[in-house]
Amino acid sequence: GAVVSQHPSWVICKSGTSVKIECRSLDFQATTMFWYRQFPKQSLMLMATSNEGSKATYEQGVEKDKFLINHASLTLSTLTVTSAHPEDSSFYICSAREGGQGRWQYFGPGTRLTVT
Amino acid sequence: GQQLNQSPQSMFIQEGEDVSMNCTSSSIFNTWLWYKQDPGEGPVLLIALYKAGELTSNGRLTAQFGITRKDSFLNISASIPSDVGIYFCAGQQTGANNLFFGTGTRLTVIP
């Protein structure tokens, strides 16, 4: 149980275009979902936290107008990278948590974004 | 954000050897977690620790929650090639919504 999927697993896009990444909890309802970014050989950096039906809370330094997060249902959250640039190329990983604080986060397999 | 430092950054060991790594912080955490990440994949939870001093095992893996609540340790016994990957610690504070990840330890096992 507790499976989180992401789609697509990798995407290449041209500079200036927008890309949407989906994160789904397959067998549980995710009250909270988290979006992380990971650059090569670095740790996971939290970008934002979203609760179902509410606006996402962004970490300091993350542009909310550039990284649009929608958590419209208890099983789906989306991250849209708007007007992507090469420096946005990274590995984006979502995680989902059922219930409140203290419950485990389950991570998706990640999406590799390459902006040319 | 919180800074969790892991040591060593990387290690190369022979198959069958034991491995030790640690994670330290300047802040107190009430939950410590250890994850393994394979290349191109998301992290997978290995062990969760909830009390200071707690020692928990999962197969060949053993992790401890430091007494000061500012550190944690992970040991892997009798390493095998599939142990290769990056090991991350993560800490969570009471009342906080998110996890803070460590800098990672990259493990290479030489057959």
Closest CB from A60, A104, A112 relative to B48:
A104
- Which chain A residue shows the shortest CA-CA distance from B48? A104
**How many contacts does A have with B, using Cβ atoms within 8 A?**
51
3-state secondary structure of B26: coil
- Which chain A residue shows the shortest CA-CA distance from B45? A106
- Examine the pLDDT at A114 and tell me if it is beyond 90: yes
Chain B positions touching A110 (Cβ under 8 A) are 40-42
pLDDT at B33: 94
Contacts 24+ apart (CB under 8 A), B100-103: B100/B1, B100/B2, B100/B3, B100/B4, B100/B25, B100/B29, B101/A43, B101/A44, B101/A45, B101/B4, B102/A43, B102/B4, B102/B5, B102/B6, B102/B23, B103/A43, B103/B4, B103/B5, B103/B6, B103/B9
For B24-83, what is each residue's pLDDT tens digit? Answer: 999 999 999 999 999 899 999 999 999 999 999 999 999 999 999 999 999 999 999 999
For A7-64, what is each residue's pLDDT tens digit? Answer: 999 999 999 999 999 999 998 898 899 999 999 889 999 999 998 888 899 999 999 9
Cα B54 to Cα A34, B69, B87, B108, distances in angstroms: 27, 10, 19, 27
pLDDT at B51: 93
Closest CB from A43, A59, A112 relative to B101:
A43
Chain A positions touching B9 (Cβ under 8 A) are none
- Examine the pLDDT at A102 and tell me if it is beyond 80: no
Residue A34's Cβ-count burial label (10 Å; 0-12, 13-18, 19+) is buried
Total number of residues shown for chain A? 116
Query: CA B72 to CA B96: how far, in whole Å?
Result: 19
